[in-house]
Every structure is written in C-alpha cells, then in structure tokens.
Chain A
Amino acid sequence: MGLVMKVRDVQHAVLPQATAEERSRQEAVVMLRKLLNAKVRSKNVERYGEEARPAFVAAHGRLPQSPAEVQEAFLMSPSYRRWSAANRAAQEMIWVSVGEPIYRDLDRMTRATANLIDSPDKLGSLALDPSYDPSPEVADVDIHLQPGGYAMDKGAYDVVAGALYECGGNVFSFGQGIGRGDSKAGVILKLLEEHFGGFVPRKMLDIGCSAGAASAAYAAHWPQSEVHALDLGAGMLRYAHARAESLGVAVHFHQMDASELKFEKDSFDLVVSHNLMHEIGEEKRRKMIAESFRVVRPGGIVIHQDVAIRNQPTIVHQVERDWDTHFNGEVHWNTYATADLRADMIAAGFPADTVIEHDLAALQGFANNRWYAISGRKPA
C-alpha cells in the first residue's frame, strides 16, 4: 500500500497561523479533555451502580427501566453531573481555543482562499449551488457545539466553518485519544486492500466531506483517480477546496444534499461517507444510502464509515454514550447508534450477501480506538 497522507496537522495555506500562546491554550484544553475521558468518564458506568441506581430506587421505589429513566438516574449521581458539566465546558473551550486564532487570522486566510480559488491553474474544482438551502436539520444546529454549525456561510471567500471543523477536529480527536496521525481514509484504504482485493477506483465520491481531509487523502493516495466530494455548507466547501489546492491534490467539490445527488446513476466505482450517518436523521440517512446505491456503478463498492458507538453491551452503557445527544448538540447520535443499518443497505438495493459490518481498528492513536463501517456491493 502506498503512502497515506497524514490527515491531522497537515500544513497548508488556509490553516490559521496560531501563536505559541494559542497553541499552549489548545494543548491545555486537549489535556483537560484527555483527563476527563480517561480518569472521570471511564468511571461513569461504575458510578451508575454506586450513586445513580440507588438514588433512583430511593426516589421511585423501583429500578430504572427505560433509557429515559436510566438517563434520569445518571443525572441523580453527583459524580456524573460533575463530569457532564466539566465535559460540556471543555467542549465549548475547544471552540474558543481554535476559534480565536481563526478570527484573528481571518483576513490573511480569506486572501489565501481567494488566491487559491481564483487561480487559473487549479487541479480540482468547486461547484457551489446558490439555490441550495442547506438541510435545516443540520444547518440549524451547532452540532458538537461548533459555533455557527456546519452550514455557516458569510458569502464571498468565507471559510470559517471549514477552518473551525478542521482545527476543532485536530484538537478534539487528540483529546479523545484518536491520535494526530489517524486517518479515516487510511482505515478505508486498508479495508479495500484486505477485503476487496486492493480495489482501486477510477472515479470515487466522498459524501459529507467537511474540510475534505479524507477526500484529499484519497486524491493523494490515488493520483490517477478522479475524486469527487460533497457537503452542504459553502463555507466548509470553500475551505476544503482551497485546502486541497494548497496541498496540491485534485479534488472536485460540490455543494449538494447527500439525500438528493445530482450525479447520474452508475457514475462512481467507489462511494464512501465518513462520520456522516450520525449527523442525519432516519429519513435522510435512508435516502443517502439509497443515493449511494444509485450512483455507484454495477460491481462498484459503497462504504459508510462512522463512530463505533453501536452495539453497547447494556442499556446503561448505551445511555452513557448518549451524552452527546443531550449535551453536545449531536441530535442524531442515538438515532444512529440504534439504527438497523443492514436493513437500510438491503432496502437501498444491495444484495444481503454483499452487506458487511466492519469493526475497524484505528491506524494510529491509543489502543482500542475503533471505527465502524458498513459496506455493500452493487451487483455487476
């Protein structure tokens, strides 16, 4: 397998130039998150037994039954409440620590973006659709508290949403123990190598690409392939496009809705999505999966990858994981965690025997860091 572009901490012209002081601040927030995850959150389920369940029984005279009651019980535990409050504060501080250098350096970033977007010798392209009104279920929410949300767009050469996403992701992932060198694209390239005989697409699509970190990594890995990527946010896509051009890789970015693709049927050899399913509701997800089936060519492969929060061992673990729904603006976290994705893939047209769920190890970072993926193949 060839060289995989390191997705995190890639240097390019549209990244804000953070000062040493700003980097110290980001590192301190990362450390805070790491400590909260490793030393406090890891005890939540144990504390449930010690504090939450007894408190619920004392109040109601019986054990909690439903997820809602388990959630109520969790909030009766002082330890859980302290962790939850501190974790929310840390999440907000991530955005403050990355947002300050972005807004401070924005004039330079905007000029760099304009130069890259307007350059006559571009490798890729950017197709924004002014008539598209970003899906309100995503646009109206600050998902994982990113200020302004994914669809924030101030027009002209605005790239704030993309810069926040990339910089926040760098800080956040490290705090989660995901590791700076981790690449979701790398995990999928490994899967293609190991499960699909080293499948190489001539033309591929990355749905819900955000800042285009994975899209650019695919383009770097397969320089001969035509890489397309889409997202709903114009600010996100301008950033992704300028980033890819600055890195010298060819990616074609499009503004469109994942549930209503403007591509012809049978257009791609490979269609992927990274961490998209948990951001969208049931109906959108089913349409998105159906669209991925429609646009992949016969014999082509579709892989939808996302966070490994599915299949929790108990309802208590499940509710503990569901913190993000209540406190982190992750409206569809639980919808995704409990969805029957196999059924969705089969309903979209993938033959049942081609639909496979994968439990994938992250390439770098801490042990037991995992990603989930589900793949299907269109009949040849």
Chain B
Amino acid sequence: MTSKTEALSALIASARGPRPISLQSREAEEVLNIALALTVELAVSNDRIDRLERLVAELRGEPVEDLRDIRYDGDIAQERYDATEALLTRALRVILDPRGHEGAADTDT
C-alpha cells in the first residue's frame, strides 16, 4: 500500500522537461502555483466538510451551525497529521520538483 505522500512523490519525480515561465519572475510564478494549489485544496476541504456537516446535522436533528469547535488527540490526531502532510506535499509540489532547482540559474535578479 502506497501512502498519499509516496504517491505524490512518485508522480513529481516522473515529470520531465523545462518549466518555462510566463510572469516576469520565476519566484512569483511559483508562488502563484502554490496559491492555486491551495485554492484547489480549499475546495476539496469545503466539499468534505459540507458532506459531513449535512449528514451529522441530519442525524442529530440540529442546525449545522451547532457542530463546530470539537478537538481530538491520540490516533485521530495522528490521522490528521498524515493528511496535512500529504496536503502540504501537494501544495509545495512546484518547489519539491527537482526542475525548480535546475531552473534557478535563469531566475530574474
């Protein structure tokens, strides 16, 4: 069984070729990539939260607004840790990709 982070690393390692930039600075473009990836992750989380909130509120027969502000530790906290690690690997992809380092030489100064 491959973990999500391992799966992402395998994908990132397999990509080849140059990454031409469009903006005037490579750093700015990388930041744009991170911002867009985060925006996608936010949409993913929103879907997930929305599903849960609706289901739980329905089960409990109470308004969705009452379901917030609960904290966990132990195994559940570890599960959240692993999920966040995978999330950040997705978000940092443009920097983790070795091509980012090869291209560093032609970064605008």
Residues in chain A within 8 A of chain B (CB atoms): 20-21, 24-25, 27-29, 31-32, 75, 80-82, 84-86, 88-90, 92-93, 95-97, 99-104, 106-107, 140-142, 145, 147-149, 152, 160, 326-327, 329
Could you tell me if A89 and B36 are in contact, using CB atoms closer than 8 angstroms?
yes
Could you tell me if B6 and A103 are in contact, using CB atoms closer than 8 angstroms?
yes
In the complex, chain B residues whose CB is within 8 Å of the CB of A160: 14
Query: Top 9 A-B pairs ranked by shortest CB distance?
Result: A99-B11, A103-B7, A84-B22, A28-B43, A147-B15, A85-B22, A104-B7, A24-B47, A148-B14
Which of B14, B15, B47, B90 gathers the greatest number of chain A CB atoms within 10 Å? B14
Dominant SS among interface residues on chain B: helix
Least CB distance from A167 to B in Å reads 12
Dominant SS among interface residues on chain A: helix
Could you tell me if A141 and B44 are in contact, using CB atoms closer than 8 angstroms?
no
Least CB distance from B27 to A in Å reads 12
A101→B48 CA distance, assembly (Å) = 17
Least CB distance from B48 to A in Å reads 6
In the complex, chain A residues whose CB is within 8 Å of the CB of B55: none
In the complex, chain A residues whose CB is within 8 Å of the CB of B20: 88, 326-327
In the complex, chain A residues whose CB is within 8 Å of the CB of B94: 89, 92
Residues in chain B within 8 A of chain A (CB atoms): 1-4, 6-8, 10-12, 14-17, 19-24, 29, 32-33, 36-37, 39-41, 43-44, 47-48, 51, 90, 93-94
Could you tell me if A107 and B2 are in contact, using CB atoms closer than 8 angstroms?
yes
In the complex, chain A residues whose CB is within 8 Å of the CB of B33: 89, 92
Shortest Cβ distance from B48 into A: residue? A21
